[in-house]
Structure 1
Amino acid sequence: MRELRILRPIAKLEDAAVLDPVVREVHRVVDAVLKPRALEDLLHGVPAGHPMHPALVLVPAGSWIGAAVLDVVPGASRASRTLIGVGVLAAAPAIAAGWADWARSRRQQQRVGVVHAAANESAWVLYTASWLARRAGHDGFGKVLALAGFGLVGFGGYLGGHLGYRQAVGANHADAVVQRFPTGWHELGVLDDLPEEAPVRIEVAGEPLFVLRRGSRVDVLADVSTHLGEPLSDGRIDDPGHRGATITSSLGSVFEVATGEVVHGPATAPAVRFETRINGELIEVRLPRS
């Protein structure tokens, strides 16, 4: 089935360089607000292991959908106003989490994301005005404002789908490694050929791997960040001589080398870790439970 022609301009937002001055200015503000790393990790969803923004959006969206239904039910004005108020309050953490994810995405994603945010936050303003109008007794005007807000929420939701499913913001970009890598043990190389405490990129079975040797210990991760697929070998390694060594990707995600666990976001899924063993002079690797 062909894509609807009316939707094609949405994809063109990715290349709309005219949005870049807005993106840069908003990025500066978001970076200043998200200075505490613990706050940023919480908004990304690092403790939960999944992005928080999609889950947090459910409350305001659900509240406003419920209000739209009640607006056509006689005698339900008070309940509708209550749902709109709940949505207005619940939107705040959803907005914050969305901006946190947006700030750690790529430029094409940020162009679409800034329009997505503009639509949703304009809807938030309309719903706030709707609640105030209803509270003042102007139910008819409040319903008109809510209807306009509902349309913007729908448009913003479509852009959110484009970000999540076409541009893969929030998805685990390393999961395909687990599906592709063959089962069993595979030769990585000779232990003495690996540099000490210096990460290297080695391809095994067609997959690039991030390898760090420390004496006779060799830690191996898939050379792809779970955040947006950036190579870990292009990142910065800290404390390579210690078991708690970490690798910081080019987009800011921090992983523990020994376990692959996320230390800091924006990544929420751990890096793909490989088991290793030394067979004579050779190092061999496999996926856990392979």
Structure 2
Amino acid sequence: MKQSRVLWLLDRLEREPRADPLIDALRAGVRSLPLGRGRDLLHGRWLGHPVHPLMVQVPIGSWLSAAVLDLRPGRSREAGLLIGVGLAAAAPAALAGATDWAELHHQQQRVGLVHAVTNTAAVGLYSASLACRTKGRNGLGRAYGFLGLSAAALGGMLGGHLAYRQASGANHAEEVPHVVTEGWHRIGAVEEFPAGEPVRRSVDDVPLLVVRELGGTIHVLSERCSHLAGPLSEGTVADGCVQCPWHGSVFRLSDGWNVRGPATAPQPAFETRIADGHVEVRLRHQDGGQRARSGGDTDRGHAGNGVGTAHGQAG
């Protein structure tokens, strides 16, 4: 079976570097916006996944409903009202999308740039449609409306490619609980983990980030950043957190919580214990994890006094 022509074009777009200088300039501009804490709000960290796909439902739904009304005679006024609602909702949705886009890989940004262009065209066509309707030129307004819907549909297809083919906005650490087997896993002797330095280890082919604090506490997280699988073992450790070297997401070492975006999902965290001078880890929330936290673990004497940490013999 031959490859779909559409997929061939999209794959070629991903590899086309000619727009990269423009992408770099736009990315720098988006990153320099004085959004403050609003940046995490736009990323959707509070929601647990990107907020942009949720926000675009308003303009898409409004414009699609307007198209249905345009198929019936005498409903141009109501259709115009829906078009106006969609135009009003498009701006915040675009800002959220641009904030996410600025923290993607170049292959994703190339598709995202065309996605933005097509959606901008849709906004322009719907603006023209609304202007025609206010002047009583309803036939031309309907024509612009259907053209706008076509542009929005193309933009939606490109957005789906970004989300499902290129995994932008997906949780890149989601598979960890399904891959790591139950029970304790030995990852190395205590002396193999210098205090304050991130170290990379693995369990069941899943990379782990191991950080031993000066006081002996050992923290273990999934090593690939949930945002875009950046190597946290190459990141910066400070104030009980680790910062991803790729896009700056910050995770709390004690439990993997995403303190700052663009990551919208936390890192899978591991319980740790010291046994015979070696560090052993177990994925949190697996069978037995609750017993360890409630005091029923027979190895508690080796495990220390908190989930995800090991004390005492680590020093």
| 1:271 is aligned to 2:270 | no
What is the CA-CA distance between 1:280 and the residue it aligns to? 3.4
Separation in 2, partners of 1:183, 1:270: 20
* Equivalent in the alignment of 2:42: 43
Question: Which of structure 1's runs of 4+ aligned residues deviate more than 6 A?
Answer: none
Change (3 A) 1:253 1:245: closer
What is the CA-CA distance between 1:141 and the residue it aligns to? 1.2
Measured against aligned partners, the alpha-carbon deviations of 1:45-98 in whole angstroms (never above 9, x if no partner) come to: 011111001000101000000001100112211111111000000111110011
Between Structure 1 and Structure 2, which shows a larger proportion of helix residues? 1
Alignment check: 8 A CA contact 2:43 2:50 kept: yes
Alignment check: 8 A CA contact 2:186 2:281 kept: yes
1:45-84 equivalences under 5 Å are 45-84=44-83
Superposed CA RMSD: 1.4
Q: What is the one-letter code of the residue matched to 2:232? A: L
Structure 1: runs of 5+ lacking an equivalent: none
Q: SS at the partner of 2:124?
A: helix
Residue 258 of structure 2: which of 262, 267, 280 is its match?
262
Change (3 A) 1:204 1:30: same
What is the CA-CA distance between 1:2 and the residue it aligns to? 4.9
Q: SS at the partner of 2:212?
A: strand
Separation in 1, partners of 2:233, 2:59: 40
| 1:139 is aligned to 2:138 | yes
Q: What is the one-letter code of the residue matched to 2:129? A: S
* Equivalent in the alignment of 1:159: 158
* Equivalent in the alignment of 2:29: 29
Separation in 1, partners of 2:282, 2:65: 50
Measured against aligned partners, the alpha-carbon deviations of 1:8-45 in whole angstroms (never above 9, x if no partner) come to: 21221101111112212211221222x33312111100
What is the CA-CA distance between 1:3 and the residue it aligns to? 4.1
Q: SS at the partner of 1:211?
A: strand
Separation in 2, partners of 1:114, 1:153: 14
Separation in 1, partners of 2:35, 2:64: 34
Q: What is the one-letter code of the residue matched to 1:257? A: L
Measured against aligned partners, the alpha-carbon deviations of 1:116-160 in whole angstroms (never above 9, x if no partner) come to: 000001101111121121112111111111111111111111111
Q: SS at the partner of 1:202?
A: strand
Change (3 A) 1:2 1:63: farther
Q: SS at the partner of 1:226?
A: coil
Normalised TM-score (structure 1)? 0.94
* Equivalent in the alignment of 1:175: 174
Measured against aligned partners, the alpha-carbon deviations of 1:191-233 in whole angstroms (never above 9, x if no partner) come to: 2332111111112232211000113311000110000111111
* Equivalent in the alignment of 1:289: 285
Q: SS at the partner of 2:18?
A: helix
Separation in 1, partners of 2:97, 2:28: 15
Q: In terms of mean alpha carbon deviation, does 14-23 or 87-96 score higher?
A: 14-23
Separation in 1, partners of 2:123, 2:73: 25
Q: In terms of mean alpha carbon deviation, does 98-107 or 5-14 score higher?
A: 5-14
Separation in 2, partners of 1:204, 1:246: 20
* Equivalent in the alignment of 1:123: 122
Alignment check: 8 A CA contact 1:247 1:256 kept: no
Measured against aligned partners, the alpha-carbon deviations of 1:262-288 in whole angstroms (never above 9, x if no partner) come to: 111111000111111222322211111
Measured against aligned partners, the alpha-carbon deviations of 1:142-201 in whole angstroms (never above 9, x if no partner) come to: 111111111111111111111001100000011122211111111122223321111111
- Number of residues paired by the alignment? 285
Alignment check: 8 A CA contact 1:186 1:286 kept: yes
Alignment check: 8 A CA contact 2:23 2:109 kept: yes
1:229-240 equivalences under 5 Å are 229-239=229-239
Q: In terms of mean alpha carbon deviation, does 274-283 or 172-181 score higher?
A: 274-283
* Equivalent in the alignment of 1:212: 211
| 1:250 is aligned to 2:250 | no
Alignment check: 8 A CA contact 1:64 1:83 kept: yes
1:186-197 equivalences under 5 Å are 186-197=185-196
Q: What is the one-letter code of the residue matched to 1:71? A: D
Please say which structure displays the higher CA radius of gyration.
2
Normalised TM-score (structure 2)? 0.87
Separation in 2, partners of 1:87, 1:3: 35
Separation in 2, partners of 1:278, 1:6: 54
